Amino acid sequence: MLFNMLLLTMIGSGILGTILLITKNKIINLFSMVPILTMIIIYSSLTYSVDRVK
């Protein structure tokens, strides 16, 4: 549970940071989408494996 919360805050801060980057510079838009997508994929796979264990 604690690990889940930590992961969520990490993802949230990452998304916030990328949104700030996008507003600062539009060119970074494409580059900042990559970490968000990988974070979402990693998070969904982690939660799926955790649910399988329970």
Q: What does pLDDT average to in each consecutive run of 10 residues of the chain (54 residues)?
A: 77 76 63 75 78 67
pTM over cut 0.85: no
Specify whether the CB–CB gap between 5 and 43 falls below 8 A.
no
Domain-wise residue ranges, the chain = 2-49
Q: What pLDDT, on a 0 to 100 scale, did the predictor assign at position 26? A: 62
**DSSP label at residue 26:** T
Coil/strand/helix, residue 17: helix
Specify whether the CB–CB gap between 17 and 39 falls below 8 A.
no
For residue 43, give the H/E element and its range: helix 28-53
CA distance 35 to 6: 17
